[in-house]
Amino acid sequence: MLDERDRKILDLLQIDAGISVSDLAGRVALSVSACSRRIQRLEDDGYIARRIAVLDRGRMGVPTTVYALVKTAHHSDEWIEIFRKAVSDIPEIVEAHRLTGNYDYILKVVLPRVEHYDVVYKAIVRKVELFDVSASISMEVLKSGTGVPVRYAQ
């Protein structure tokens, strides 16, 4: 069971996983050793899945985001695995979700420029049969992040 200090630790680590344990301990009113033990427990219990570096997309040369909505006529386990492998093998596809509603999947694609979307599109359709793909270009980021709310954690 998490307490408020655990939630605060998780919240602060989401903002900056590189924060020193001593700074983190000071912000949650714990000793360094007690804070370190809590972080280890949160990792062992699976609340912290991994620690990553979030790269600046502009500096990495991929400032453009395209969302591709995919429809398929196939829903077999075999087709899904082929599709999963196809999208996993394309580094520009940074997220893929199976959906309810009119489309089956949505892909978040990061690109150097809009024109590069055709390269990604062709890479997908070479590997897997699709019924329809509709792409939308993100014009402006209103909110972006990797953090999740911590208040619901048990």
Which residue ranges make up each domain of the chain?
4-44, 57-137
H or E stretch covering 133: strand 132-137
pTM, entire model: 0.89
pLDDT (0 to 100) of residue 70: 98
Residue type, 119: V
Q: Please give the Cα distance from 140 to 26 (Å, whole number).
A: 37
Beta carbons within 10 angstroms of residue 34's beta carbon = 13
Q: Please give the Cα distance from 35 to 136 (Å, whole number).
A: 44
CATH of domain 57-137: 3.30.70.920
CATH of domain 4-44: 1.10.10.10
Q: For the segment 73-129, what is each residue's pLDDT rounded down to a tens digit?
A: 999 999 999 999 999 999 999 999 999 999 999 999 999 999 999 999 999 999 999
Q: For the segment 64-88, what is each residue's pLDDT rounded down to a tens digit?
A: 999 999 999 999 999 999 999 999 9
Q: Please give the Cα distance from 20 to 1 (Å, whole number).
A: 24
- Beta partners for residue 69, in sequence order: 106, 134
